[in-house]
Amino acid sequence: MKKKSIAIVAGIVVLAGAGIWYMNHAGAPGDSAGASAGGAGGKAGGKGGPQPPTVVNVVAPQRQDVPVVLTANGTVTPISTVDLHPQTTSTIRKVHIKEGQFVKQGELMFSLDDRGDRANVNKAQAQIARDAATLADLERQYKRSQDLFAQKFIAQSAVDTLRSQVDAARALVGAGNATLQAENVNASYTAIRAPMSGRVGAINVFPGSLVQLATSLTTITQLNPINVSFNLPETALGDLLAAQKNGAVTVEASSPSSSTAAAGAKPVSGKLSFIDNTVDPLAGSIKVKAQFDNSGTSLWPGQYVNTRVTVQTIKDAVVIPQSAIIINTRGTFVYVVGEDQAAKSVPVTRLHSFGLNAAVSGLNGDEKVITEGKQNLRPGGKVRLADAPGGGAKGKREGKSEAKPDSAGHDEAVKTAAAK
């Protein structure tokens, strides 16, 4: 029984070995054929020709004068504002103005009770008249004393005494004139006039009101001309100073309100009038002011405005879209279409950016600058214009697909070409 089991096991092992040998040798011809087919296919794929040209869009650079403009938020501030106070204690006799009225310099605004001041003026005038009469009498006596002394009727001491009296009387007359001037000044305080031309604010007193030195009567604000105050970054200080040396610096101010914009109001133009003597070290900014003609009262004190300062104008600059500029570890450059429809890298320097465009140096202005499709380009790579024959709507779609890399970091257009 035992010998029979051993025979069975040995037979199974022999059959299994024979099956394995048959499977290995029977599949060999097919595998080698498949390998040959695969090799042929790979070889055919390797002979599939060069990569097709990249579809791109190009623009021609523009030549134009480009103003270098600095923008900032500003606040309208009056050149001068005066808070009117009385210089004496009295009562308001009459108010000659209305709230919100425009007044001219020297115009009468308030009249105070001046009866006491006028009486003091009259008293000073009477005192001067009395002293003047005394002086005239002493001068006559002094003149007669000189005649008597010449005839040896009086001594020299009498003449000297009269001369001293004349000098004292003349001094009294001078003191009386000074007193009269002081009383006239005090009387002038009862008539309050506009110290400058401007607009009157709220009036805080009425006829009969008692006013003192601390009483605020009203305010006058100068509206024309008027200032706009704003801050610029300290990096703009050099351009500001250089522009100021070359002449007047133009500043534009416009209201950001929707109603003004809807009305189509044009910005108000003024001139830079002040650059602060220090830079704020905390904010890193410099305070500047511009003065505007405000005869139309388009600017109002305290108003919030947008300002634009033109520091220079780049003459005949080469302007290209900012989307065409590439910045990487090699520097700043653009791709242009060179000879034989090959991409060429040209280093550029960005002079000034405005909107979607930028003024650059490094281009002659007659190049074809590539704006779309540059993501897949390398210097010397072949390109095809999207609007050229064979680069229609499909080419444009391919050009757009080049700007969208897949998750593995490869461009979809490259993946499509490899799959083909």
**Residue ranges of domains in the chain, CATH in brackets:** 54-63+316-419 (2.40.420.20), 70-79+223-315 (2.40.30.170), 81-110+195-221 (2.40.50.100), 114-189 (1.10.287)
> Considering the chain, what percentage of its residues have pLDDT values greater than 90?
53
40 three-class SS: helix
How does residue 42 score in pLDDT terms, banded at 50, 70 and 90? very low
Work out whether the CA dihedral 199, 205, 211, 215 comes out positive or negative: negative
Q: Give the pLDDT confidence score for residue 399 in this predicted structure.
A: 38
160 three-class SS: helix
Q: Give the pLDDT confidence score for residue 416 in this predicted structure.
A: 36
How, if at all, do strands 108-112 and 268-280 pair? unpaired
Q: If you average pLDDT over each of 22-31, 173-182, 369-378, which comes out highest?
A: 173-182
Residues 320-336: pLDDT tens digits? 999 999 998 889 999 99
Q: Which of 374, 316, 303, 321 is nearest to 344 (CA)?
A: 374
- Alpha-carbon distance 31 to 37, whole Å? 10
How does residue 390 score in pLDDT terms, banded at 50, 70 and 90? low
Residue 151 φ then ψ, to 5°: -90, 10
* Range in 107-121, 250-264, 364-378 the model is least confident about: 250-264
- Alpha-carbon distance 271 to 291, whole Å? 6
* Angle CA 140–141–146, to nearest 5: 100
Supply 147's token pair: 């005649």
Q: Which residue has the tokens 């979809």?
A: 412
* Angle CA 30–32–37, to nearest 5: 95
Inter-axis angle of helices 393-402 and 412-419, to 10 degrees? 120
Residues 62-100: pLDDT tens digits? 999 998 888 999 999 999 999 999 999 999 999 999 999
379 three-class SS: coil
Mean predicted confidence (pLDDT) in 40-56: 58
Whether the per-residue pLDDT at 9 is higher than 50: the answer is: yes
Mean predicted confidence (pLDDT) in 191-218: 94
Q: Do 98 and 160 contact (CB within 8 A), yes or no?
A: no
Q: Which of 272, 308, 304 is nearest to 291 (CA)?
A: 272
Q: Give the pLDDT confidence score for residue 260 in this predicted structure.
A: 46
How does residue 129 score in pLDDT terms, banded at 50, 70 and 90? very high
Whether the per-residue pLDDT at 352 is higher than 70: the answer is: yes
Q: What DSSP element (H or E) covers 180?
A: helix 156-188
Mean predicted confidence (pLDDT) in 204-209: 94
Whether the per-residue pLDDT at 197 is higher than 70: the answer is: yes
Whether the per-residue pLDDT at 236 is higher than 50: the answer is: yes
What average pLDDT does the structure give for the chain? 82
110 three-class SS: strand
Q: Which residues of 296-320 are buried (b: 16+ CB within 10 A; e: fewer)?
A: eebbebebebebbbebeebeebbbb
Mean predicted confidence (pLDDT) in 309-313: 88
More confident residue, 75 or 381: 75
Mean predicted confidence (pLDDT) in 359-384: 87
Q: Give the pLDDT confidence score for residue 79 in this predicted structure.
A: 93
150 C-beta neighbours (distance < 10 Å), count = 10
Entry pTM: 0.61
Q: Give the pLDDT confidence score for residue 22 in this predicted structure.
A: 61
Supply 379's token pair: 């210097």
Q: Which residue has the tokens 């189509």?
A: 264
* Range in 186-195, 296-305, 345-354, 375-384 the model is least confident about: 375-384
Q: Give the pLDDT confidence score for residue 381 in this predicted structure.
A: 84
Whether the per-residue pLDDT at 16 is higher than 80: the answer is: no
| CA 21 and chain centroid, separation | 89
Residue 385 φ then ψ, to 5°: -70, 140
Torsion, Cα of 250, 255, 260, 266 (10° steps): 0
Q: Which residues pair with 256 in a beta bridge?
A: none
Q: Do 125 and 223 contact (CB within 8 A), yes or no?
A: no
How does residue 265 score in pLDDT terms, banded at 50, 70 and 90? low
One-letter identity of residue 143? K
278 three-class SS: strand
372 three-class SS: strand
Supply 213's token pair: 């030195």
More confident residue, 185 or 403: 185
Q: Is the peptide bond before 50 cis (omega within 30 degrees of 0)?
A: no
Q: Which residues pair with 287 in a beta bridge?
A: 231
- Give the single-character DSSP code of 213: T
